[in-house]
Chain A
């Protein structure tokens, strides 16, 4: 199944019944699939007049308690940031998919990872956080959307982002589709604005607090929620870490390349392991902290100028050298090039261990 279509089908199987979006390459198969399927099963699809409008339609739909989503690619996500901040402020759950393309500006339609900062550090205004999933295969995207994304979004009443890229959206892989969930079987959302029905006081969905004391209280409460997310919602995969001396780290498409390089390096007898974040926020700092005590070096591989590496550095804290290899602008690193980097680092580390440490 094609990655983008798998995202759409997985969302429907997770009980998503509302989609609003605006065409942008390379994620158009998502709205196209939704346009066909959602009406068949009693949901709603809207091709909005803009990304800004689409995310605000999702805001309204999510406020009714309906599982809702939008999808876009980098420049479109920039436009959605206003709405994402409002959803975080008003505490509304929804799925926002970003199939990242090259930037900045209009950039190009090829895969890139330049939106990591925007996704994990709050691209919109105000102090907010959201769980950001960075899957590396079509099956993983399906499983996360079906079993994790909406559950987490609703548990914390917060938007959740799935950060993919053009390759993950366009590639085809064999997949197993999970059983669908019936939206009617989901727990009632007592906070939703569905009309009072004459049985309760009006519900209000809002992010405005004109009284600074109340606004601070709201902010402290939100931060406590983000703290709980950071504590409970970290997802990470560790590969070959038992005896690893050089640790690769990468997410999404570059993680797939890194895994291939790791396998080749192992075949050459190099003790290479890997830490693959599945959530970019909360960032899985703990495996890095553990590894930093004993490994000889880290190699961070990204399709950006080096964004996740800042989180890696915060976790490693100078306890081991960190090297960096990247491609940008729609170029994808090759396993061969990464293997070459591993060999170089192996030599450098050996040399440095004789005469002092270095790193990037």
Chain B
């Protein structure tokens, strides 16, 4: 008699993903879908797809979905969540989307403490448009718009979204995880699930930054790309939980040892 020990998550549709070989979007999709399954919220989840490689997310997640304009996913999610506060609303955004054109939407959704979950996939490059420099591109990293490598005097320095958003009082859970090996993927799963749990518990804004790969635009094999993520991205983007709202349990296997800031919420009394 055979026993089924592993299957496709119910929140993931049975279709072939379009992502390039070695790109970790597929892994991250699965982690999100598993989290939705395990929390039992598939039937009340609404996803928001961004512009970028993950724009077709609505074809892969087996939940209601809205597709948003480039960078605007947190605003769209805000509109959905305010109308349907008992539903689970998440956005799935890349770094070209969230850290560049959509910075304002992300910062202000966090500032308002919108009770939504953001899955932020950081591969340090614009993928879909053909490998241009992103705000997250590393110093010295070659892209089509930083052909001699990113130079700080011309193009500034990488933006650390997790560190930045963790300073906002409205943010309840902010973590950065990676995908370069199985241990990291397991830790990423814990963080993603916790970000959804944060929303289910009504604690407010949650964002998980997931370091990803872009073998195609990085010009590497899948294995080289994973190695590059570990060796080059990690020093710039340290892993860890940057913000945990009081009362939310820490993960036992929390990755890294980055700052564990918890900013107390103050209330201004009027009249």
Give residues in A with beta carbon < 8 Å to B.
17-18, 20, 44, 46, 48-50, 52-54, 56-64, 66, 68, 82-83, 86, 90, 193-198, 202-208
Rounded to whole Å, the gap between the CB of B68 and the closest CB of chain A is 7
A195 touches B75 (CB 8 A): no
Rounded to whole Å, the gap between the CB of A40 and the closest CB of chain B is 16
Give residues in B with beta carbon < 8 Å to A.
42-46, 48-49, 55-56, 58, 61-69, 72, 75-84, 87-88, 104-105, 107-108, 112
Q: How far is the CA of A194 from the CA of B43 in the complex (A)?
A: 9
Provided the pairs A62-B79, A195-B87, A197-B44 are in contact, do residues A202 and B72 lie with their beta carbons within 8 angstroms? no
Provided the pairs A18-B82, A195-B43 are in contact, do residues A56 and B105 lie with their beta carbons within 8 angstroms? yes
Query: Residue among A48, A52, A203, A205 with the most chain B CB within 10 A?
Result: A205
**A contact residues around B76 at 8 Å (CB):** 56-57, 59-60, 63
Question: Which of A50, A52, A82, A205 sits near B66, CB closer than 8 Å?
Answer: A205
**B contact residues around A62 at 8 Å (CB):** 79
Rounded to whole Å, the gap between the CB of B108 and the closest CB of chain A is 4
Main secondary structure of the interface of A (DSSP, over half): mixed
Rounded to whole Å, the gap between the CB of B84 and the closest CB of chain A is 5
A197 touches B43 (CB 8 A): yes
A208 touches B67 (CB 8 A): yes
**B contact residues around A61 at 8 Å (CB):** 79-80, 82-83
**B contact residues around A82 at 8 Å (CB):** 69
B83 touches A195 (CB 8 A): no
**Can you pick out 24 interface pairs between chain A and chain B where the beta carbons lie within 8 Å of each other?**
A49-B108, A52-B72, A52-B104, A54-B75, A56-B68, A56-B75, A56-B79, A57-B78, A59-B66, A59-B76, A63-B66, A63-B79, A193-B64, A194-B46, A194-B84, A195-B63, A195-B87, A196-B63, A198-B43, A203-B65, A204-B64, A204-B65, A206-B67, A208-B67
A49-B105, A59-B75 provided; 11 other pairs, C-beta below 8 A? Answer: A17-B83, A20-B78, A54-B75, A60-B83, A63-B76, A83-B72, A90-B66, A194-B46, A202-B63, A203-B65, A208-B56
Residue of A nearest to B13 (CB): A202
Question: Which of B45, B75, B87 sits near A57, CB closer than 8 Å?
Answer: B75
